[in-house]
């Protein structure tokens, strides 16, 4: 979808092609784009195009008596031809000029719009008059006051055309990345200084994009589409899982109110998600509890599963369906130990149960991350991190390793009724293979205090990273 710089480029090119040309005829193959127009496109016959202006992403053709307001939306494109050429598959409208040249309008998806108004109706055109000022016309104080009166994530706010016109999804990502500001920050919490940084970057980035788009004017060939789209300069948009150009952290992408947001969690201060992974009884829960006691936000998949077993009526019904009444305690609640026993010998039922529970836990995990997006770092403990393929939700993975003899001691301390079964369940986690995928490893081979010290050292490192 073309954004302000692309539309500005199209405007500039159009002025080099059609300014001061008189429309002799309008050939309409599909008037879908003009279906809401106040006047039919035919009224433009005999009118001269004085200039093509732009407001936001709208092109404004100024004619003798009329204005033609054109929005390209997704796929609208103008093609200028010096002579009549065969229609393209999606040619919708052709403006024929009295000097024998033509302007074709193509639109494969038919989302573009064309609306004709009388010149003196300009101030009453709803689409244009509701538009806010462009970054170039706004002061930081004006923008700051507008932001203060709204409670919306800054990323979504930048897309509100009635507040600030001309910024679409691509440039909003670029502007916030350049400003090193979290896209999830509420716009009414931004300082005047932060608003200033955003505004200055908006101007800088849009001008640069216009300049680059403008360079296509020189290489412009009449038979090529005038869409001016440029991709090479983008640093954030579309860069999910690519290293940040400033700090090498992998760029992340989330959905926010139905639109994608791409950002660097480090540069833009968005919560870094650290997954803690380890063998059974390796001390990973101890580590998670320690972090929680230090005030960090933590998520334990095991705790969530326990909670689901207790509260989720559908899960209980599913367990009875899978394992029979045998999986219930005498109080009618789910007996996790019985289920553990049943699945260790039945791979199929284990998979069936996991396939049922995993989406429920994942839903809780995603909302946990979303709710804590303003934290510096948050910790999640997922025993089946790699098996469930949730490792891509984490920015960092901390592995907790433990020597076998200590692991057995821990299991004994837990009063494990069946150590070999617990170890068997554990071996199926393929921990050692997954260990290689962890970014850092803590070996839990000493006292509790030594473990805490190792976690402190890790924290210092991760907070600096």
Query: Known catalytic residue: 57?
Result: yes
Q: Which is nearer to Zn ion, 264 or 411 (CB)?
A: 264
Q: Based on CB atoms, which residue is closest to Zn ion, 164 or 181?
A: 181
Minimum distance, C-beta of residue 209 to Zn ion, in the bound complex (Å): 21
Q: Are 18 and 103 in contact (CB under 8 A)?
A: yes
Q: How far is the CB of 265 from Zn ion (least distance, A)?
A: 8
Among candidate residues 259, 303, 364, 465, the one labeled active-site is 259
If the CB atoms of residues 102 and 263 are measured against Zn ion, the closer one turns out to be 263
Q: Which residues here bind Zn ion, judged by CB under 5 A?
A: 244, 246-247, 249, 264, 266-267
Strands (E), 305-438: 377-381, 396-401
Give Cβ neighbours of residue 422 (< 8 Å, ≥ 6 apart).
280, 281, 411, 416
CB of 246 vs Zn ion, minimal distance in Å: 4
When the beta carbons of 127 and 249 are compared against Zn ion, the nearer one is: 249
Residue with tokens 């203060």: 148
**Secondary structure letter of residue 22 according to DSSP:** B
Nearer CB in complex with Zn ion: 154/388: 154
Residues with Cβ within 8 Å of residue 262, at least 6 apart in sequence: 173, 177, 236, 237, 238, 239, 240, 251, 252, 253
Alpha-carbon Rg for the chain in angstroms: 30
11 or 235: CB nearest Zn ion: 235
**Do 81 and 104 form a contact (C-beta atoms < 8 A)?**
yes
Residue with structure tokens 């939306």? 73
Q: Is 183 a catalytic residue?
A: no
Tell me the helix, strand and coil percentages in the chain, rounded to 5.
45, 20, 35
Instruction: Put the strands of the sheet holding 51-55 in their side by side order.
Output: 51-55, 58-62, 66-71, 113-118
Q: Least distance (Å) from Zn ion to the CB of residue 239?
A: 11
Q: Nearest distance from residue 235's CB to Zn ion, in Å?
A: 10
**Residue 263 CB, nearest distance to Zn ion (Å)?**
9
For the CB of residue 260, give the shortest distance to Zn ion in the complex, in Å. 18
Instruction: For residue 354, indicate whether it is catalytic.
Output: no
Name which of 112 and 265 has its Cβ closer to Zn ion.
Answer: 265
136-140 contact pairs (CB < 8 A, 24+)? 136/203, 136/206, 138/164, 138/199, 140/192, 140/195, 140/196, 140/199
Sole residue written with tokens 């995928």: 437
Question: If 0-12 CB within 10 Å is exposed, 13-18 middle and 19+ buried, where does residue 250 land?
Answer: middle
Q: Which residue is nearest to Zn ion (CB)?
A: 244
Mark whether 135 is an active-site residue.
no
Q: Are 364 and 307 in contact (CB under 8 A)?
A: no
Residue 198 or 267: the one with the smaller Cβ distance to Zn ion is 267
The catalytically annotated residue of 55, 57, 252, 284 is: 57
CB-CB contact of 91 with 106 (8 Å): yes
Asked whether the beta carbons of 381 and 273 are under 8 A apart, the reply is: no
> CB of 256: closest distance to Zn ion in angstroms?
19
Q: Give the residue numbers annotated as catalytic, written as ranges.
A: 2-3, 57, 259
């Amino acid at each position: 979808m073309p954004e302000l710089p692309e539309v500005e480029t199209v405007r500039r090119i159009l002025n080099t092609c059609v300014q001061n040309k008189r429309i002799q005829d309008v050939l309409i193959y599909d008037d879908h784009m003009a279906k809401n127009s106040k006047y039919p496109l035919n009224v433009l016959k005999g009118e001269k195009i004085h200039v093509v202006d732009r407001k936001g992403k709208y092109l404004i053709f100024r004619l003798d008596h009329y204005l033609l307001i054109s929005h390209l939306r997704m796929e609208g494109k103008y093609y200028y031809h010096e002579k009549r050429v065969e229609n393209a598959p999606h040619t919708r409208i052709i403006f024929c000029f009295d000097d024998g040249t033509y302007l074709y309008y193509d639109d494969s998806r038919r989302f573009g719009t064309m609306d004709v108004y009388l010149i003196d109706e300009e101030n009453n055109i709803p689409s244009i008059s509701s538009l806010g000022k462009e970054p170039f016309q706004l002061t930081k104080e004006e923008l700051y006051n507008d932001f203060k009166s709204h409670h919306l994530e800054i990323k979504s706010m930048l897309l509100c055309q009635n507040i600030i016109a001309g910024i679409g999804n691509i440039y909003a990502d670029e502007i916030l990345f350049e400003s090193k500001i979290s896209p999830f920050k509420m716009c009414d919490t931004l300082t005047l200084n932060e608003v200033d940084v955003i505004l200055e970057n908006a101007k800088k980035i849009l001008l640069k994009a216009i300049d680059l788009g403008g360079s296509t004017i020189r290489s412009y060939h009449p038979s090529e589409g005038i869409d001016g789209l440029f991709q090479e300069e983008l640093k954030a948009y579309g860069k999910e899982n690519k290293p940040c150009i400033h700090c090498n952290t992998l760029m992340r992408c989330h959905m926010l109110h139905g639109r994608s947001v791409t950002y660097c969690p480090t540069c833009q201060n968005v919560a870094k998600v650290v997954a803690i992974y380890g063998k059974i009884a390796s001390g990973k829960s101890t580590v998670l509890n320690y972090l929680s006691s230090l005030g960090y936000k933590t998520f334990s998949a095991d705790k969530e599963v326990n909670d689901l077993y207790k509260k989720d009526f559908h899960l209980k019904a599913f367990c009875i369906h899978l394992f029979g009444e045998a999986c219930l305690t005498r109080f009618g609640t789910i007996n996790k130990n019985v289920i553990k026993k049943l699945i260790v010998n039945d791979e199929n039922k284990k998979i069936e149960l996991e396939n049922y529970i995993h989406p429920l836990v994942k839903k809780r995990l995603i909302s946990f991350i979303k709710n804590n997006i303003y934290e510096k770092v948050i910790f999640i403990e997922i025993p089946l991190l790699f098996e469930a393929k949730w490792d891509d939700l984490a920015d960092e993975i901390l592995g907790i390793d433990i020597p076998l003899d200590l692991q057995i001691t821990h299991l004994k301390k837990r009063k494990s009724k069946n150590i070999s079964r617990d170890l068997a369940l554990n071996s199926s986690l393929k921990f050692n293979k997954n260990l290689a995928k962890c970014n850092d490893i803590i070996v839990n081979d000493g006292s509790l205090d030594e473990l805490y010290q190792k976690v402190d050292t890790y924290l210092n490192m991760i907070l600096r990273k």
